[in-house]
Amino acid sequence: MSDEIPQHPGAGWNPFDQGYFSSDELRQFGFKEVGRNVMIAKNATIIGLANISIGNNVRIDGGVTIVAQSGRLALHDFIHIGSGCHLNCAGGITMSSFSGLSQGVRIYSGTDDYTGESLTNPTVPGKYAKTKIAPVELGRHVIIGSGTVILPGVTIGEGASVGALSLVPKSLDDWWIHAGIPAQKMRQRSRALLALEQRLMEEIV
């Protein structure tokens, strides 16, 4: 067996650096909306393109899975979704401007019933299951730490942050730092970033 790496027919193709699709390329794929300066990794898995709206200055990294065939995903402006995240959009997910997900965050807007009172998993007819479906909303300037899990029906208020490896089963207040299982208030978060946002917006107008 040869040790040579097989050559891909595309010029400059590298199996270890697959790169990103640009806004112009993405607009050809069937998304509901794609803004300016959008980058989505070529090894991301995205289902339900017609239900996904993407604003300006958005980056989605490698290994992200987005499942939106039965719900919507709205990404506003200046948003980053780190590698390995999973977004279940059955009940709808909204990420407001300047919000972001660190690596490996899981957002579920639809989940099975874990009590044993119904059957589970998507192969089961709906009349035998008891799925909880409810929208998840992230406010402006929300940042979610690595490995955090967010459950259906949660609203994370403007300026809130959530530490790594947290569980978020209920809504969180504006401008607080949260962490833990379940996530609890730790201390208030600085609003200094609002002045930086204003400066940025003045520069790009």
Is the distance from CB of 102 to CB of 164 less than 8 angstroms? yes
Please tell me the distance from the alpha carbon of residue 2 to that of residue 141, in angstroms, as a whole number. 51
65-107 pLDDT, tens per residue?
Answer: 999 999 999 999 999 999 999 999 999 999 999 999 999 999 9
Q: Which residues contact 120 (CB under 8 A, 6 or more apart)?
A: 112, 113, 114, 129
Check residue 11 and give its pLDDT.
61
Q: What letter would DSSP give residue 200? A: H
25-62 pLDDT, tens per residue?
Answer: 999 999 999 999 999 999 999 999 999 999 999 999 99
For 10-122, strand residue ranges (E) read 20-21, 33-34, 38-41, 45-47, 52-54, 58-60, 65-67, 73-75, 79-81, 86-88, 93-95, 100-101, 106-108, 110-111
Which residue type is seen at 146?
Answer: S
Domains of the chain are 20-204 (2.160.10.10)
Is the distance from CB of 68 to CB of 48 less than 8 angstroms? yes
